């Protein structure tokens, strides 16, 4: 693909995303890679994590000798509670999600389309044992939906596309994408590159992206001044 | 850091303007946030739409707001009660609009707004005047009426205890409409009898998680009046 | 009207009705006369009273020096809690009502029709300051709806009718009526007299009733044997 | 006297027959009533419809019921998980029907059944395969999907504490689906870790009022398994 730039690790993308979460936001981290974001929340910011199974104010994983058997997150891993946290039942937990009370949901994805369509729950309509969980609720409910994913599949197929070919999770919901190569906003113009790895050219990034990339106004201004 | 505590009623009500729709908690005088209502009177905001169960009694709390001529429209289930003279005078003079809603439908419409449910079918009021002109549908052999979510600009809530994250508890029958209204407004303001340090409230028994609350003002008001 | 039989007092009707409530039932007593039923619940039966404003397990009025200011019933009177009681918020309280969880609701009425239609919330469509409260929810939600009322108005107009002339509360919901003269079931045949005051004839009762009265099968059997 | 406590799992499950629809609480292993599920296996009831979030893991609890071939159909949001081998084997062999429901829609449909709401409009899943063939409606400028209440014959619930009236509390994230399922079935059976005397539970913090519960069986089961 012609670039010698070293892509970010999943941990680095998670940390990059975490640094953009403002103080005081209520955030749901989807299962899989988004869960890593919890490990990189910036010091000094109070960010309240929500878990679909009915937790507000979820803390990090416990020390092995401090596991609470009854306290798991949506990924069914043991977690802790922060001071100020609380429990709700399943209907109330999804009232929080669907009702627009979360500032942010971070989700993994198979594909994101330039109009913000999200495909992250199934790779085929004939899949064996499909599973959806809370993905569709989170995608339509959170005030901001940010996607954290590799820029392409392992075989190099772009995940940012003109139109999703995989089954949709929700229509027009993604507002920002953090990949191992770039940070990209989804706007009325389509994909707007907000940030790229140092040394990566727009052309090289475009090569790995199956829809037109635009330079965001913010970034243009930055370039003009820099 | 999250700190939703504000130091005055004025600060608690900042930004509430004319023509706002305002939910007011309470059933009768119990759980009615009188100090915040008094603040609305002092503020002088006019042309208000009030969503609440009763229409006040005597000359305090909601009755005072009505008597001050600040309310254009009231959405409630039971405006008539011992001492509801302020409401009755306005209503009989044609100076206030009334949308009468069965109490359970009112509660469910408020809950729906907070839970991101656009509308629902209820068997309540089918075949009565209060369903006049509304869509109906037979579901599982039973007739239902279509009712829409009822959101508001502001919710005024009275809590028993609150912390700086906005977590709340209520006292006995003071709970009533307060927890559901807290979920259904763009701005939720809590008048709390007690302020407690974060971590004081048991995570298992928080009744309103702080995610629903924007501002908390400490008002050791004492027992319900009237 | 030709009968010398002494009609029952409201208290006597309430006591008569109370004696029919089985052990273990969950019961809502509507505001007004039905509230009196609470004073006559038979000893030795655990009957759990529900109040619309969010109480299960409501007890009698407190002694004057034991009033809990935050503990009121749907009629806004101070009450007590029984051991085992609990509080719920307004949406949950009406989920209990609408969801069919109450065994019984006792309501007052202006009119009951022979098909079980109930009119109990308004006497005119042009009424000043109408109020509905939880009546429509209770009427459609409870497993059994029993009405407690005077057999006629003060001026002698029958309240048991072929068709309600007042605005309806709910359609076809009333299963039994306790009046100051009789206990009457509402069945597919219409009004079936279950019990009359001693000395009252069916003819005299029919005179005060604006729809045909039938003798219930149970009562017939009783007559044959007695 | 109200006494919902039964002395054996057999008595707790009495009357549950072939073809029953059964809700099973829990999210993953936490809050899953394994002893009651084992009782269903022993009972041998067949052709069951199971409503639950996950489809079990390993060879205990729900997975054991599936492996025993007693389930014809499962309604859930996330059947696939680490160790969901019993479900996957059945599904791939075409020996079990799957109705896949977004988690929040599943929770809301269960709640609706308990609350007497016939159906509701949710934005979740609009435009996706999971809304295929369903009615849609634009409400307040947003597209919604019509979803119906989901009741069941039986709900199996795991509680932390319960009393003879059936009042329950839950532990931490063991709450999840249990309180809403308790409201939505004709027969609600609770497996409780602790039995407490009536009056032990604080009326303000009962999570499932006894009105929703039919039977309680004491099972000091210990920590969630698997």
Q: What tokens appear for D135 in the block?
A: 């009615």
How far apart, in whole angstroms, are the C-alpha atoms of residue D79 and residue C21? 45
For chain C, give the longest Cα–Cα distance. Answer: 55
**Least Cα separation, residue A225 to chain B (angstroms):** 33
Q: What are phi and psi of D14, to 5 degrees?
A: -55, 135
Q: What is the reported pLDDT for B58?
A: 83
Nearest CA in chain B to A50: B211
For chain D, give the longest Cα–Cα distance. Answer: 54
Q: What is the reported pLDDT for A218?
A: 66
Q: What is the reported pLDDT for A219?
A: 64
Inform me whether the pLDDT recorded for C126 exceeds 70.
no
Q: A68 CB near a chain B CB, below 8 Å?
A: no
Contact D214, D188 (CB under 8 A): yes
Give residues with Cβ within 8 angstroms of A220, minimum separation 6: none
Q: What is the reported pLDDT for A160?
A: 98
Burial of C170 from C-beta contacts in 10 A (0-12 / 13-18 / 19+): buried
pLDDT in tens, B146-158: 999 999 999 999 9
Q: What is the reported pLDDT for C195?
A: 95
Q: What is the reported pLDDT for C125?
A: 60
CB atoms within 10 A of CB B42: 12
Q: What is the reported pLDDT for C1?
A: 46
Inform me whether the pLDDT recorded for B57 exceeds 80.
yes
Which residue intervals of D75-173 are DSSP H helices? 85-92, 103-115
Q: What is the reported pLDDT for B121?
A: 98
How far apart, in whole angstroms, are the C-alpha atoms of residue C165 and residue A78? 63
Q: What are phi and psi of A137, to 5 degrees?
A: -70, -45
Q: What is the reported pLDDT for B16?
A: 98
pLDDT in tens, A204-214: 999 999 999 99
Q: What are phi and psi of D90, to 5 degrees?
A: -65, -45
For chain A, list the contacting chains (3+ Cβ pairs, <8 Å): B, D
Q: What is the DSSP string of chain C?
A: ----PPPPPHHHHHHHHHTTPPTT-EEEE-SSGGGGGGGGPPTT---EEEETTTEEEEE-PPPGGG--TT-B-TTS-B-EEEEEEEE--HHHHHHHHHTT--SEEEE--SEEETT--EE-S-S-TT-SS---TTHHHHHHHSSEEEEE--SB-TT--BSEESS--SPPSBSS-EEEEE-SSEEEEEETTEEEEEEE-TT--HHHHHHT-BS-EEE-HHHHHHHHH-
Q: What is the reported pLDDT for B169?
A: 98
Identify from C32, C140, C171 which residue to disrupt to test chain B contact, counting B C-beta atoms within 10 A and taking the largest count.
C140
Identify from B102, B109, B131 which residue to disrupt to test chain C contact, counting C C-beta atoms within 10 A and taking the largest count.
B102
Q: What are phi and psi of C182, to 5 degrees?
A: -160, 165
Q: B155: left (phi > 0), else alpha (psi -120 to 50), else beta?
A: beta
- DSSP β-bridge partners for residue A161: A113, A210
Inform me whether the pLDDT recorded for C3 exceeds 90.
no
Q: What is the DSSP string of A18-68?
A: HTTPPTT-EEEE-SSGGGGGGGGPPTT---EEEETTTEEEEE-PPPGGG--
Q: What are phi and psi of B65, to 5 degrees?
A: -65, -40
- Output the pTM of the full model: 0.97
Which residue intervals of D70-102 are DSSP H helices? 85-92
Q: C24: left (phi > 0), else alpha (psi -120 to 50), else beta?
A: left
Q: What is the DSSP string of C118-140?
A: EE-S-S-TT-SS---TTHHHHHH
Give residues with Cβ within 8 angstroms of B132, minimum separation 6: none
The least confident of A114-128, D71-85, D89-103, D211-225 is A114-128
Q: What is the reported pLDDT for A224?
A: 45
How far apart, in whole angstroms, are the C-alpha atoms of residue C83 and residue D199? 5
- Residue A52 appears among annotated catalytic residues: yes
Q: What tokens appear for A92 in the block?
A: 């109330």
Inform me whether the pLDDT recorded for B223 exceeds 80.
yes
Q: What kind and span of H or E run contains B193?
A: strand B185-195
Inform me whether the pLDDT recorded for C221 exceeds 90.
no
How far apart, in whole angstroms, are the C-alpha atoms of residue B70 and residue B84? 16
Inform me whether the pLDDT recorded for B6 exceeds 90.
yes
DSSP D43: H
Nearest to B13 by CA among B174, B180, B191: B191
Q: What is the reported pLDDT for B73?
A: 98
Inform me whether the pLDDT recorded for D24 exceeds 70.
yes
Nearest to B217 by CA among B172, B142, B164: B164
Q: What is the reported pLDDT for B83?
A: 83
How far apart, in whole angstroms, are the C-alpha atoms of residue B71 and residue B50? 7
Nearest to A28 by CA among B211, B104, D159: B211
Inform me whether the pLDDT recorded for C27 exceeds 50.
yes
* pLDDT cut 70: percent of chain B above it: 100
Contact D136, D143 (CB under 8 A): yes
Tell me the pLDDT of chain B averaged across its residues: 96
pLDDT in tens, B77-118: 999 877 888 999 999 999 999 999 999 999 999 999 999 999
Q: What is the reported pLDDT for C226?
A: 37
pLDDT band at D222 (very low <50, low <70, confident <90, very high): confident
How far apart, in whole angstroms, are the C-alpha atoms of residue B50 and residue C19? 43
Nearest to B159 by CA among A89, A55, A101, C70: C70
Nearest to B125 by CA among C31, C32, C122, D145: C122
Mean pLDDT of C88-111: 98
Identify from D21, D119, D169 which residue to disrupt to test chain B contact, counting B C-beta atoms within 10 A and taking the largest count.
D119
Contact D153, D186 (CB under 8 A): yes
Candidate list A11, A43, A46, A52, residue with the active-site label: A52
| Chain D residues whose C-beta sits inside 8 Å of any chain C C-beta | 1-2, 111, 113-117, 163-165, 167, 183, 198-199, 201, 203-204, 206, 209-212
Q: Taking CB atoms and an 8 Å limit, are D81 and A128 in contact across chains?
A: no
Mean pLDDT of D14-27: 97
Inform me whether the pLDDT recorded for C129 exceeds 90.
no
Nearest to A117 by CA among A160, A173, A157, A162: A173
Out of A52, A55, A81, the one facing D103 most closely (by C-beta) is A52
Q: What kind and span of H or E run contains C176?
A: strand C174-178
How far apart, in whole angstroms, are the C-alpha atoms of residue C51 and residue C94? 10
pLDDT in tens, B168-216: 999 999 999 999 999 999 999 999 999 999 999 999 999 999 999 999 9
pLDDT in tens, A143-178: 999 999 999 999 999 999 999 999 999 999 999 999
Q: Taking CB atoms and an 8 Å limit, are A70 and D30 in contact across chains?
A: yes
Nearest to D103 by CA among D122, D82, D84: D122
């Amino acid at each position: 693909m012609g670039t010698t730039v070293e892509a970010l690790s999943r941990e680095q993308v998670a940390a990059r995303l975490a640094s953009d979460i403002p103080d005081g936001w209520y955030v749901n981290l989807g299962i899989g890679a988004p869960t890593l974001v919890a490990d990189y929340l910036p010091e000094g910011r109070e960010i309240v994590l929500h878990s679909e199974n009915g937790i507000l104010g979820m803390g990090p994983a416990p020390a092995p000798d401090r596991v609470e058997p009854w306290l798991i997150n949506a990924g069914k891993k043991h977690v802790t509670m922060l001071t100020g946290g609380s429990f709700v039942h399943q209907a109330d937990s999804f009232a929080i999600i669907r009702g627009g009370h979360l500032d942010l949901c971070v989700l993994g994805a198979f594909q994101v389309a330039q109009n913000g369509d999200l495909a992250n729950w199934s790779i085929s309509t004939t899949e064996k044992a499909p599973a959806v969980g809370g993905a569709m609720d989170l995608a339509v409910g959170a005030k901001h939906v940010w996607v954290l994913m590799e820029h392409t599949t392992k075989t190099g197929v772009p995940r940012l596309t003109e139109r999703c070919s995989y089954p949709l999770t929700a229509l027009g919901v993604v507002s920002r994408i953090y990949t191992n190569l770039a940070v990209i906003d989804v706007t009325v113009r389509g994909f707007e590159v907000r940030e790229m790895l140092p040394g990566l050219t727009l052309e090289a990034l475009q090569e790995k992206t199956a829809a037109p990339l635009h330079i965001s106004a913010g970034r243009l201004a930055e370039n003009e001044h820099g | 850091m999250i700190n939703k505590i504000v130091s005055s009623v004025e600060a608690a009500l900042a930004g509430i303007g004319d023509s706002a729709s305002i939910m007011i908690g309470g059933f009768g005088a119990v759980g009615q946030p009188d100090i915040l209502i008094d603040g609305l009177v002092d503020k002088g905001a006019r042309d208000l739409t009030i969503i609440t169960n009763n229409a006040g009694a005597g000359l305090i709390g909601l009755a005072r707001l009505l008597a001050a001529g600040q309310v254009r429209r009231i959405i409630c289930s039971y405006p008539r009660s011992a001492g509801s003279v302020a409401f009755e005078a306005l209503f009989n003079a044609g100076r206030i609009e009334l949308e009468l809603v069965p109490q359970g439908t009112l509660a469910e419409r408020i809950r729906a707004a907070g839970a991101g449910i656009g509308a629902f079918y209820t068997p309540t009021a089918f075949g009565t005047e209060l369903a006049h002109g509304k869509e109906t549908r037979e579901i599982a052999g039973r007739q239902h009426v279509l009712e829409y979510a009822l959101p508001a600009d502001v919710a005024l809530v009275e809590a028993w205890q609150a912390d700086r994250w906005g977590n709340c508890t209520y006292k006995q029958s003071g709970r009533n409409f307060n927890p559901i209204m807290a979920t259904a407004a763009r701005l939720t303001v809590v008048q709390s009898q007690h302020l407690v340090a974060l971590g004081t409230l048991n995570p298992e028994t928080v009744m309103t998680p702080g995610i629903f609350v924007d501002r908390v003002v400490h008002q050791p008001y004492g027992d319900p009046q009237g």
